[in-house]
Chains A and B, each alone.
Chain A
């Protein structure tokens, strides 16, 4: 695991806990105060404060010139962020739901992601693309996906998926300061929105001072010796819940939160598997050609990786779009029970 300040107590005042959205907004506000080149564009980010509270309160402090409501024209404003970034600014563009990426995808993967490479490094694109991801509230096939594997698959974008308020703040500081395009994907269920209650986990102590969490540093959210569970986003919390339950049965699961997909902290994952010998990868993205397969491959590719690997399980959304009705949505999105089952299977107790 890469070095970072893990104990929030070292970062400043700790007796306050923040929701993930507050922590994210705090980092954005800080960067905006420090650097006039940072500005935010999106739909309903001004008066509304972001449908998922991603910009709550920023309009009041920074005004409409910097917290910009834009037309429902994703191609135009995401592409405009690319252009402004190339002109030396540090824009943040918000895609309200990641599912809408199709509308602006050309700007995202043919320009934002490739201009640095196509220019032989002559151009850089220091922007952040934020988007809400995830299901669990029956919003059906066009509003429930995570799709982070798709961004990670296409070269040229750093991909960040926070699971706690502490991580959300440190990763956002880093995202805005990074000289490359960063796709920052926050799970709706974790934000702490009034109408979409969050589980307990994501609200954590958050230092008031700024701090960065380097990209490519996975975080071992729970140490264990029997089975490695690698996951990210909402499923960090579901995996921790599963681990608690498994502990009652004497199975000691280690939970690794990837935090960023690009870059990927292969070392932390491999070290954990070297210790446990058993790997369970849990993901809210589609199963095939995605994060779960990639993690398994990275482990297998390590020297003696295959030899060390006694068991592998993948827990992900099967290859179907997200259905609306509750029984079907529950079926396809992995829950703590699915994770417990997979860990038990990997552990060899069927």
Chain B
């Protein structure tokens, strides 16, 4: 059974992620008013917020250690927070600062924190094969670490996912695939793109255990993930877990969501896994004061990270030329413009 400590830690991760994204949203919109221009303001580019997905990140990552690998998709913040990614450096990265996780080269869709073996990326389902690779390394090196690939329900139609299931299964690798089903892939509802309502059934074709957690409930995710991750740790092969979550926001900031009914949006907001976990905490005898403390310490941490990030220096333009290779080859193309041919420049 889930312990009170686990409940509190999951609550903390979820509240931190929610508050973090609320603050990011505020910062993001600065400079984008009154007219929304995606390239303006202190945080430019796309921003995919995960409000409504928190139970999945927290319920799964509660079982993970730093040496377990996580790959996340384009909607990564709640997973990164739950995995223990350095919040300050992640924030600095999102603000495009020099001290960010990737020195400002990656941005919010490409966060890498090797200290806790976390990475995310922007092409649908492309995190699955590297998670299989982390599982393969664990098996070859005979460690008990595991790998978890997170992806959206829209991503389970992608070859990279299905091929990864098969490879992980045939090699008996310690990998867990976690599908976050928020009912939408941008504007496309699930039933428009697949005939299979329960995505966990994709596992059947690979003779792999597949479980769907139907409720947006951190405790239910925690229980299902314990089994799947335990199976991986015990060397009993991969599992697939699908988790019902909700998309409380547009697909990306700036998404007009004209394709989505007001009722659908309101329903997503009603089913708040954070409220639900709070009720669980009370049922386990955690008092209001403790809950308030968890919330305010989360807020402080978020505020501190954002303030810190905003004070960080921007990268120098010339930094753009660094880091293409770990061992830069000699003779790379010079980025200076060619010198115009002059009369003195003989042909031979």
What residues of chain A lie closer than 8 Å to B46, measured between beta carbons?
139, 143
Interface of A: prevailing SS: loop
Interface of chain B: mostly helix, strand, loop or mixed: loop
Q: A143 contacts which of B37, B104, B122, B342 (Cβ < 8 Å)?
A: B122
Least distance between B104 CB and chain A CB atoms (Å): 3
A residues within 8 A CB of B123?
Answer: 99-100, 102-103, 142
Contact B159 A325 (CB under 8 A): no
Contact A141 B333 (CB under 8 A): no
Q: Mark B89-133, 1 if CB is under 8 A from A, else 0.
A: 000000011001010111101100000000001111100000000
Please determine whether A138 and B317 come into contact, CB atoms closer than 8 angstroms: no
* Chain A CB within 8 A of B279 CB: no
Name the contact of B36 in the complex, choosing from A142, A195, A309, A348 (C-beta under 8 A).
A195
Check if A73 is an interface residue, CB within 8 A of chain B: yes
CB proximity of A273 to chain B, nearest CB, Å: 13
Q: Check A328/B315 contact, CB under 8 A, given A48-B187, A319-B324, A320-B320.
A: yes
With contact pairs A100-B123, A313-B337, A318-B321 given, residues A325 and B187 touching in the complex (Cβ less than 8 Å)? no
Tell me, rounded to whole Å, the shortest Cβ–Cβ distance linking A19 to chain B: 16
Q: How many residues of B contact A (CB 8 A)?
A: 58
Instruction: Give the interface segment out of B188-196, B199-207, B287-295.
Output: B188-196
Tally A-B pairs: CB < 8 A. Answer: 166
B328 smallest CB distance to A (angstroms):
11
Tell me the minimal C-beta distance from A122 to chain B in angstroms: 29
CB nearest neighbor in B for A144: B45
B residues 295-330 near A (Cβ < 8 Å) are 314-321, 324
Point out the residues of chain B lying under 8 angstroms from A66, CB to CB. Answer: none
The interface size bin for chain A is: 35 or more
Q: Decide: B186 and A43 in contact? CB cutoff 8 A.
A: yes
**Known A44-B186, A75-B159; 11 more pairs at CB < 8 Å:** A69-B193, A72-B124, A103-B160, A138-B107, A139-B107, A140-B106, A142-B110, A142-B123, A319-B332, A323-B320, A345-B340
Top 4 A-B pairs ranked by shortest CB distance? Answer: A325-B96, A325-B104, A324-B107, A331-B317
* A interface residues with partner B (beta carbon < 8 Å): 43-44, 46-48, 51, 69-73, 75-76, 99-100, 102-103, 136-143, 194-197, 287-288, 309-315, 318-321, 323-332, 341-342, 345-346, 348, 350
